[in-house]
């Protein structure tokens, strides 16, 4: 029976990584894989994580199962940073659970959406490819709207129309900050507008906050999520620590549900636990425990936030240099300076992306998405020159 399975296409990003690794050129540039890199091109373990791991190794006395809800100390320690210090559980309306990374959180959230009876989810495009893949696997219909304009701004007319045209049984998926893949975020005023429209339409928001702290700051990056939560009775929130704690291979995330009546929390979360049991049974402990230890220690928290500041400042410097270059051939790099997070899209055709790779040793997704953290002050001029060359 296994012979009935159909060959699936290789993941384009994983294939790109292999091509980059096999390239013998010393000056090759990897702008594909979505991890933070320092100005020297390294993806380090955070100082604060190293310190927390040392405490964990010294003090951990068991490797027993956690249960499907995971490390609830970790889940609760994150809440003031996500939802605000004044009322992190929104008056008893929010409860969460640990998941394997942001992807695990999204898988769980969308499975709960399906189980709750929702039929379709509204998604701005382009979006992170796994959003559509998870929806397809679950049998959720996807209604697309255009997220960004060629000018480098959000397409507010499109999102307003999508919300206005929503039907009963629809949910909407929104990136909380540092949009992947465009880097183009909603302004605070636009979030105010979106939040009210979602509330008026009576649709369920699913908020994907995968890059908090890498855009404008921890508080600033949470504005949109918090604004929506104030406006609506119910929501699902997907969170990742993979990027803002550098825990890519440890897969650390959380799912939170906000209910209209605190009495419904247990019922809703029982479905999360039930779905998790059928997917991964129980989440891994190590990375979440390290995050919890950081957030329980004032000095480690301060060091973690300082590391985030360093990362954000470096990416801002790269973006400022790209914007200062202005026109590179036929491509205007100026809008990249006002975008946020790890990613942006450079408007290149697939043939031009291929020429970037073959002629210049610059590896990027076929969509033109680049990881700006792959650029350094040592290679950024090569990148700008290559864009000018392939678009001249």
Residue 214 DSSP SS3:
coil
Count Cβ atoms within 10 A of the Cβ of residue 263 and give its class: 0-12 exposed, 13-18 middle, 19 or more buried: exposed
181 DSSP assignment: T
Residue in 136, 93, 363, 130 with CA at minimum distance from that of residue 229: 93
The C-alpha angle 331, 334, 338, rounded to 5 degrees, equals: 135
C-alpha distances in angstroms, 260 versus 45, 227, 299?
Answer: 39, 16, 36
* Spatial separation of the C-alpha atoms in residues 75 and 252, rounded to whole Å: 10
Residue 171 DSSP SS3:
strand
By 3-state DSSP, what share of the chain in percent is helix, strand and coil, each rounded to 5?
A: 50, 15, 35
172 token code pair: 């909407």
C-alpha distances in angstroms, 245 versus 25, 66, 249, 254, 327?
Answer: 31, 21, 11, 13, 35
DSSP assignments along 94-139, one per residue: EEEEEEEHHHHHHHHHHHHHHHTT--EEEEEES--HHHHHHHHHHT
Active-site hit among 243, 285, 303, 304: 243
Active-site hit among 128, 191, 285, 303: 128
Annotated catalytic residue 208? yes
Residue in 151, 267, 131 with CA at minimum distance from that of residue 210: 131
147 token code pair: 């997220």
Instruction: Give the residue numbers marked as catalytic.
Output: 128, 208, 243
């Amino acid at each position: 029976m296994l012979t009935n399975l159909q060959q699936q296409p290789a993941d384009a990003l994983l294939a790109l990584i292999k091509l980059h690794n096999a390239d013998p050129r010393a000056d090759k540039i990897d702008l594909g894989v979505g991890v933070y890199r320092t100005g020297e091109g390294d993806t380090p373990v955070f100082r604060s994580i190293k310190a927390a791991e040392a405490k964990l190794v010294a003090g951990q006395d068991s490797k027993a199962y956690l249960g499907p809800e995971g490390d609830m100390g970790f889940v609760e320690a994150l809440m003031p940073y996500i939802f605000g210090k004044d009322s992190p559980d929104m008056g008893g309306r929010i409860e969460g659970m640990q998941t394997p990374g942001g992807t695990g959180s999204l898988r769980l959230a969308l499975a709960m959406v399906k189980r709750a009876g929702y039929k379709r989810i509204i998604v701005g495009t382009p979006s992170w490819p796994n959003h559509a893949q998870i929806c397809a696997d679950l049998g959720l219909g996807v209604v697309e709207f255009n997220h960004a304009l060629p000018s480098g701004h959000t397409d507010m007319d499109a999102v307003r129309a999508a919300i206005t045209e929503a039907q009963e049984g629809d949910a909407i998926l929104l990136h909380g900050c540092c949009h992947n893949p465009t880097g183009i975020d909603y302004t605070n005023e636009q979030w105010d507008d979106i939040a009210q429209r979602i509330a008026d339409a009576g649709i369920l928001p699913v908020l994907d906050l995968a890059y908090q702290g890498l855009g404008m700051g921890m508080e600033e990056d949470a504005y949109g999520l918090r604004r929506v939560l104030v406006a609506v009775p119910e929501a699902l929130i997907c969170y990742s620590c993979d990027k803002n704690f550098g825990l890519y291979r440890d897969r650390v995330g959380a799912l939170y549900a906000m209910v209209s009546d605190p009495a419904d929390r247990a019922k809703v979360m029982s479905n999360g636990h039930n779905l998790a049991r059928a997917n991964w049974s129980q989440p891994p402990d190590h990375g979440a425990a390290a995050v919890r230890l950081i957030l329980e220690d004032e000095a480690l928290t301060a060091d973690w936030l300082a590391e985030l500041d360093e990362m954000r400042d470096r990416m801002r410097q790269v973006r400022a240099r790209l914007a200062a270059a202005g026109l590179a051939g036929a491509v205007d790099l100026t809008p990249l300076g006002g975008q946020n997070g790890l990613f942006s899209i450079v408007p290149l055709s697939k043939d031009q992306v291929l020429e970037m790779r073959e002629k210049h040793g610059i590896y990027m997704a076929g969509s033109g998405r680049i990881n700006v953290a792959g650029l350094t002050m040592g290679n950024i001029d090569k990148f700008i020159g290559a864009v000018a060359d392939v678009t001249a």
